[in-house]
Structure 1
Amino acid sequence: MDGFGIGLRAARVHYGPLEALHGVTLSAPAAALTVLLGRNGAGRTTALRALAGTLALSAGAVVRDGRDITRQPAHERAARGLCFVPDRQAVFAALTVAENLALSPARDAVARALDAYPELRPLLPRRAGTLSGGEQRMLALSRALLADAGVILVDEPTQGMSPAVAARTYALLDALEACVVVAEQRLPPAVRTGAGRTAVVHELRRGAVVFSGEPGELSPSRSRYAPE
């Protein structure tokens, strides 16, 4: 797995007696956009959380840049340049949008966030917990874009967004000089059309990887998760 940004090796994860990942091996190359594809319950969110360190492995390993980081806790992974955006509770609900953005150590954080998502400008004084789902995703993604992280993991990045904002979000992720891994139920249009950087798809089903390859190799007849 040397040369890859981050990956799992024979990873097993349990929720109590239930095994959610069955010896999963997958790699997310540093220079690529990697999509973990699958319906709810397939294991894609579990795999993402295992990479982030918010779920412990019961067997196997998490490898980053050829080094085993399985025993490295989530806060240490974050301190070493791994940014994780979960699908829920990804913002500080009691703080305003402006206060959420001010937590970023980046210079001109608010201005840069508004460049990415001008839709947030009229929302700056509002508490983040009062925003719609799509607005919260924009806020969470803007903070991730400002993180200057080497690895960015995002669970359903465009959930609740309009098609235009979703397309802009993938363009922003594509432009990052980082290893980007997203979990999606369907293959995003930008990835499907081959626009932007090299993309890798790992399709998960019932806790196992059933396909790994390029987006063009994933046909609708082969996977129910690919768009028609």
Structure 2
Amino acid sequence: MSSTANLLELKGVHTHIGAYHILHGVNLAIPKGQLTMLLGRNGAGKTTTLRTIMGLWQASQGSIHFNGRDITRLHTPQIAGLNIAYVPENMGIFADLTVKENLLLAARKASNAAQMDAARLQWIFRLFPAVEKFWNHPAGKLSGGQKQMVAVARAIIEPRDLLIVDEPSKGLAPAIINNMIEAFDQLKKSGVTILLVEQNIHFAKRLGDTVAVMDNGRVVHAGSMAALAADEALQQSLLGLSL
């Protein structure tokens, strides 16, 4: 695939955290308009890769390009300003604020709820009915699945070119996971490029267009999600499991 078809590219990225060398030359391409799954065992370096893309940890070597622009040395607010949204594993919800206030914080063009884009808000309510239902409730009082919906809704309250989400299905009940799969499917159809770290293989199989598998701080496999889902021997060797 030519680099022009990729929205995000990591080339030879190394990341050190203190004395620890976590990423060992990560090469990763995220095709424009597709949903890419980043899979791997615990400790493979998936979350570190996301945090390095977002500038929360600095790459010690290699380059990160977004839309053809080198963002390797940019600070996190500058990266977010390029229309990249990041939902961390802990969701980053402000527990004492209402759902409405959480979304308002992310809506840069609105200083109050009345100024939020009404059509976009209705679209989000259709994706995540719980966001509308608990609009005036403190976010900290919501269930894990509802908080996850608020976290993703907050990330997409403004149009994004790239949405990066770390383990959206973690700890969620199967019915909530199915709702989340439907929502990400709708987001993908709306043209958003998505990078998901996921442990839930059902989730990965249903949504992924492309896949990258990490092990020991490197990408050890990249290709189509459908091809990986169909190859049990490859799944076993890369992930030690069957899809």
Whether these two folds match at TM > 0.5 is yes
Where does structure 2 lack aligned partners over 5 or more consecutive residues? 110-115
For the 8 Å contact 1:114–1:120, the answer to whether it is kept is: yes
> Aligned equivalents of 1:11 and 1:134: distance in 2?
33
Are 2:46 and 1:48 equivalent residues in the alignment?
A: no
Deviations 1:127-152 (A, max 9, x none): 11222221111001112232211111
Q: Match for residue 122 of structure 2?
A: 111
TM-superposed CA distance for 1:176, in Å, is 3.0
**Which contiguous aligned blocks of 4+ residues in structure 1 show a shift greater than 4 angstroms?**
none
TM-score, normalised by the number of residues in structure 2? 0.84
> Aligned equivalents of 1:37 and 1:203: distance in 2?
5
For the 8 Å contact 2:121–2:157, the answer to whether it is kept is: no
Of stretches 173-182 and 136-145 in structure 1, the one that deviates more from structure 2 is 173-182
- Percentage identity across paired residues of the two chains: 30
Distance 1:148 1:225, change over 3 A: farther
Distance 1:26 1:226, change over 3 A: farther
Of stretches 138-147 and 74-83 in structure 1, the one that deviates more from structure 2 is 138-147
DSSP-derived class of the 1:213 partner = strand
Q: Which amino acid aligns with 1:192?
A: K
For the 8 Å contact 1:83–1:147, the answer to whether it is kept is: no
Are 2:169 and 1:158 equivalent residues in the alignment?
A: yes
Are 2:223 and 1:213 equivalent residues in the alignment?
A: yes
Q: Which amino acid aligns with 2:62?
A: G
2:142 to 127, 131, 155: 131
> Aligned equivalents of 1:64 and 1:48: distance in 2?
13
For the 8 Å contact 1:7–1:51, the answer to whether it is kept is: no
> Aligned equivalents of 2:210 and 2:35: distance in 1?
6
For the 8 Å contact 2:209–2:226, the answer to whether it is kept is: no
Of stretches 34-43 and 173-182 in structure 1, the one that deviates more from structure 2 is 173-182
Distance 1:53 1:225, change over 3 A: farther
- Equivalences for 1:72-111 in 2 at 5 Å? 72-103=74-105, 104=107, 105=109, 106-108=116-118, 110-111=121-122
- Count the aligned residue pairs: 224
TM-score, normalised by the number of residues in structure 1? 0.89
Q: Match for residue 177 of structure 1?
A: 191
Q: Over aligned residue pairs, what C-alpha RMSD do you find?
A: 2.1
Distance 1:172 1:227, change over 3 A: farther
Q: Which amino acid aligns with 1:37?
A: L
Q: Match for residue 202 of structure 1?
A: 212
Q: Match for residue 192 of structure 1?
A: 205
DSSP-derived class of the 2:234 partner = coil
Where does structure 1 lack aligned partners over 5 or more consecutive residues? none
For the 8 Å contact 1:2–1:65, the answer to whether it is kept is: no
Q: Match for residue 182 of structure 2?
A: 168
DSSP-derived class of the 2:59 partner = coil
TM-superposed CA distance for 1:89, in Å, is 4.0
Distance 1:40 1:173, change over 3 A: farther
- Equivalences for 1:52-67 in 2 at 5 Å? 52-67=54-69
Are 2:224 and 1:222 equivalent residues in the alignment?
A: no
> Aligned equivalents of 1:8 and 1:50: distance in 2?
10
> Aligned equivalents of 2:241 and 2:211: distance in 1?
11
For the 8 Å contact 1:187–1:226, the answer to whether it is kept is: no
> Aligned equivalents of 2:205 and 2:232: distance in 1?
11
